[in-house]
Structure 1
Amino acid sequence: MMSLSYAPRLQQMLLRMLLVALFAALSAPLTHGQAATQVTQQVDTRFVTPLKGSVHPLVRHGAIDLGAVSNDTPTGRITLLLKRPPEQEQALQQFLSEVHRKGSPTYHKWLTTAQFGQQFGVADSDISAVVSWLESQGLKVEKMPSGKNVIQFSGTAGQVGSALHTSLHAYSVNGEVHHANSSELQIPAALSPVIAAVGPLNDFHPKPLSHLMGTAELNPKNHQLTPQFTLSVPNYNLGLAPEDLATQYDITPLYNQGVTGSGQTIGIINESNIDLNLVAAYRKLFELDANPLNPNLPQVVVDGNDPGVSGASGEAYLDVEISGAIAPQATIRLYISGGAITATDSAWRSCAR
């Protein structure tokens, strides 16, 4: 059986900004030095400035406030996005333009994470100032990637609320219980030049716009597809196989030259885990593996908490299966994460009513 679904991609601003530092290759020239220091004043927590737009719209409109989460509720990892100086941001945008432009001296000369941090990362002194503030609030710094553009930290709901001058609440939205910060986050004014965003401190995740119509059965002998559901358009039983993709995108000449993706890696980011048995069945159905007993299955890389198989799985299956169909010998890596905030059922039961 095979599933029929269509899922448009959901991209988030924070994720897009973090991905800039994931390019990896050799020999990109470093033409810019360490960023200028932006934190020029002593950090005084009595003077704060808001991070505008840090309250989710559903909290302001339509959500039923169920009360504050218990202060000892663990938050899980939270991402703090650093902000580079304007001249450095301009240099980064110029680099991204040149590295994608054919004929440029830096065309496709990607940076390693360390090179990115050296060339476009925030100044070490600024990072130290932010880390010192987080630790002074009782928060634990979990990770500081060498790209020098984010800091990941964790703590409890009480510690995070105190540090960011907010409170984490439980909310009821359309019969579902969610949690989020109840007011705009506030950070020390002295750190505002270097902190772009924090969080998000909510679990209002985007929901796929796709709709799973059902399953269909493919007869491998005559290639006929029989839907196990009712279609509004009669005799419209079409499926998309790897051979169709090769024809539509004129990939066959590459295959004739022996190009199969061998030695290449394709990275895919999603919000859902997958069942590798289903991917193996897909690859077996379309005979994508030279050795069916040792299928070239994707590698699932979990960053932080495992989100499990969720409503976003349709896009994840689509991406890994089609990528593996186009480049059957490439290494496919699916990067997933359960998000920042983690709250237990007991925490919700302890919410004030």
Structure 2
Amino acid sequence: MKTEHVMMCVSIAAALAALPSIALASDSNAALAGIDTTEAPRVTQTVDNSVVSALGNTHLSLINNATFTGAVDDATPMNHMQLILQRSALRASALESLIDAQHDPSSAKFHQWITPTEFGDNFGVADADINAVKSWLTSQGFTVNTVYPNKSQIDFSGTAGLVHQAFHTQENHYIVNHVSHIANAGDISVPAALRDVIVGVAGLNDFRPQPLHVPPQVAQFDSSKHNFKLKSSATTTPGGQAVNFPSLGARGFVPYDMQTIYNVSPLYTSGFTGTGITIAVVEDQDMDVSDWPNFVSQFGLAGYGGTFQQIQPQLTPSTGNCTDPGGNSPDGESIETVLDSEYSTAMAPGANIWVATCSDSDAGASSNFFGGVYLAADNLINNTNPAGRPNVISASYGYGEGFTDAASKTAIDLMWAQGDAEGISVFVSAGDSGSNPSFNGSIINGVGIDANSFGTSPHDTVVGGSDTADILDGTTSKYFNSTPNAVYGTAKSYVPEITWNTSCGNTVAAQELVGLSALQFCKNALIYDPDGYYVTSESGSGGPSSVDAKPSWQRIVYGAAKDQSRDVPDVSLFGGSYGGYSWVILCTGAYPCTANFTSPVELVAGTSLSSPMFAGIQALIDQGLYQAGAWSPDQGNAAPTLYELARNEYGGATGSTPSTLDGCNSNNGTKGTSKCVFYNITGGGNSTQCIQLQGETTPDCYFYGTIANFEGFYGPTQVGLTSTSTSKYNSTTAAFAAKPGWSFANGLGSVNAVNLLSAWKKFNYLP
């Protein structure tokens, strides 16, 4: 019987393999069998606008120290705000129980995914309570645009004056870091009768997180040296230390290199290219649509049958909250969008790529704190047409929880939980600034350890950044050919990895270059860099959540942090390099790829690369499982399964550790790691530099010196390394050192895609 079932599923899989997309959920309600979330309305009193209750943490705390420059005019439009509804404890608990069962192979609900409508009917807010809130909004003069299918958020529009009147908070103009913003001055208040069903309003401020990539570099290929010359190349690293990198050029990785390093290519030979799987990369700006076909043509990926489309995912035609952000021209496109679309394809060349973009604002008004990126993802997840929902989502944006208001954080976590229950696998970049993801392109100051609020939900998988170790180790010839092949690749095999960290806090760089500890390396840098121009926090990010609790699946593996927090990252892939030597090549509108790179190209790095690459690997896994007989290609959140598989390799949180913990150490390279699912990255760490300007306090920073006049402008500035102790700095206190098993620096490490699929099949009881 089991054999007949498997053969039937394989036949169905083969028949559907050529379809442009595979449906997300079946018509069955098997997942909801035995679940009863019936409840009485919670709004039981008459709504009285004179009796109000404040909702805590519904304004950004950073506003308290910002420079006030005036009130927002009452007539200013505030379009497409979202009122985030508070679900009952009963329904929130029932949802978590269902998702646990959906990820348990021994459960009858295993991989029985639900639809947005089923989510709303069973785990959203009761219709009577929604109607009470809608009536109140309308009575206050707002226009209710729509109630989302998840019955947990209401899209509505009005003006700044109506916000002041209804929510008892003033919209003001502020200057933060020399940039003008609008935000609500204090926490909002709502009628006491509605308090139990309202979390807050997302869309009362216009702060935006940045895409998580290093600024791209324009480079010209040198065919005689087989490397690139950066047009703005420097001869020193952050910290001012001279680097003896080959010819001071730069290396541009191509899809072939990433496919080889993470052992993806053999899956193509087996027919697993991502065919039939849809990956959505969610963005807030368009790209030049000619880039993608140029990319797949240049790197030999056009024959795999992948598709590309750029869309604005609208919830309904009348909602209108996802408008085209523009940028679909060579001079206006988003490098982030180009990167995400091209490197998800680099790993899954047969997949369907949706570039889903929504504008950050509509008629000058703010939306959610995460703007168009949030709206694009939310509208996809709430699409009631299965063909309008992707199998995999990659989101490469981030900001710390300390900079995110309660309503926005609740909305983000709800969105990813809903996606998980529907079977969608979500990947989020960890960040590019070490132990606080909010400082991409700048330096940690004024705040301490934090984690990316877009990724700390227990219902997504966070991807950190690694670096290849060959440059600092001097082993490049062992792992890379000196001349590129027909598709410009040079990688021979898996390459040992360390944590991506461009600062003097990079312990591997400190030891390999000058034989010093990171702390002494940084102290010496003060001599070479007295004004602090090379001080940086650029590094793969990781840290504990201060909002979300640790899920049970994150406790089970060796090295798991002994805390109560959802900790990130979960895994890592290549994100960048020390000294700016290694990058990936993009094909952009401004710098199209040409044969043999006769014209300049753009090079880029960051965890914005890591996330879409893992999304691509997931597409291969999805197709492989489905063709092996899985009921559905969809896996929901990948993290619970990844941690279960890692426990087999690294050992559990307690008890003895297996020999594979050492055997699968990334430092072993290809020696003995051929059967490993994970490559455990134990070299380096993401402790980076941090500063403390006059008049501010920067926690979680061990200060080792003072810069007399930081960057020639800011005056005396203390400089340090991120640390869990302000009184000592070592491998135990550094925030955070890589170590065996799981770590804040690299999560579980990187993966061997072939072995991952094989292990995942066994976990799913597939042949």
Task: Report the TM-score range of the alignment, normalised by the length of the smaller protein.
Answer: 0.7 to 0.9
Task: Tell me the C-alpha RMSD between the 2 structures.
Answer: 2.9
CA distance 1:28–1:253, shift in 2 (3 Å): farther
Alignment map for 1:1-353 (pairs within 5 Å): 24-26=24-26, 27-29=28-30, 30-31=32-33, 32-36=35-39, 37-63=41-67, 65-208=68-211, 210-218=213-221, 224-231=227-234, 232=236, 233=243, 234-235=245-246, 237-290=250-303, 296-301=307-312, 303-309=321-327, 313-339=334-360, 342-343=363-364
Inter-partner Cα distance in structure 1 for 2:165 and 2:144: 16
| Structure 2: gaps of 5 or more residues | 1-22, 237-242, 314-320, 366-767
CA distance in 2, matches of 1:242, 1:117: 40
| Paired-residue identity, % | 35
Separation in 2 of the partners of 1:75 and 1:33?
38
Report the more deviating stretch, 157-166 or 170-179.
170-179
* Paired position in structure 2 for 1:3: none
Deviating more after overlay: 145-154 vs 327-336: 327-336
CA distance in 2, matches of 1:253, 1:172: 53
Q: Distance in 2 between matches of 1:161 and 1:218?
A: 57
CA distance in 1, matches of 2:220, 2:25: 43
Closer, same or farther in 2 for the Cα pair 1:270/1:103, shift >3 Å? farther
How many angstroms does 1:286 deviate by?
1.1
- Say if 1:149 and 1:139 are closer, same or farther in 2 by CA, change over 3 A: same
Give yes or no for contact 1:273–1:300 (8 Å, CA) kept in 2.
Answer: no
What TM-score, normalized by structure 1, do the two folds share?
0.80
Q: CA–CA distance in 2 between the matches of 1:311 and 1:90? A: 45
SS of residue paired to 1:152:
strand
Deviations 1:291-321, CA, capped at 9 Å, x for gaps: 9xx9832423255244445999444332221
How many angstroms apart in 2 are the aligned matches of 1:111 and 1:75?
A: 33
For the pair shown, which has the larger CA radius of gyration, 1 or 2?
Answer: 2
Count the aligned residue pairs: 319
Higher relative contact order (CA 8 A, sep 6+): 1
1:122: Cα distance to partner? 1.1
CA distance in 2, matches of 1:94, 1:220: 58
Q: In structure 1, how many angstroms separate the alpha carbons of the residues matched to 2:202 and 2:225?
A: 52
Cα pair 2:312 2:322 within 8 Å, conserved: no
Q: Which amino acid in the other structure matches residue 266 of structure 1?
A: I
Check the 8 A contact 1:126/1:194 in 2, yes or no: yes
Q: Deviations over 1:1-29 (max 9, x none)?
A: xxxxxxxxxxxxxxxxxxxxxx9411352
Deviation at 1:215, TM superposition (A): 1.8
Question: Taking structure 1 as reference, are residues 304 and 86 closer, same or farther at Cα in structure 2, changes over 3 Å only?
Answer: same
How far apart in 2 are the matches of 1:149 and 1:221?
60
Q: Is the 8 A contact 2:37 2:91 kept in 1?
A: no
- Could you list the runs of 5+ residues in structure 1 that have no partner in the other structure? 1-22, 345-353
1:184-206, Cα deviation, whole Å (9 max, x unpaired): 11111111111122113001112
Which secondary structure does the structure 1 equivalent of 2:25 belong to?
Answer: coil
Larger displacement relative to structure 2 (75-84 or 208-217): 208-217
CA distance in 2, matches of 1:102, 1:276: 41
Kept after mapping to 2: 8 A contact 1:213/1:229: no
TM-score with structure 2 setting the length:
0.39
* Contact persistence 2:312–2:324 (CA under 8 A): no
Say which SS state the counterpart of residue 204 (structure 2) adopts.
coil
Q: How far is the alpha carbon of 1:217 from its aligned partner?
A: 3.7
Preserved CA contact (<8 Å) 1:99 1:107? yes
1:58-107 Cα offsets, whole Å, 9 max, x none, are: 321032x2222221111110011111110211111122222233343222
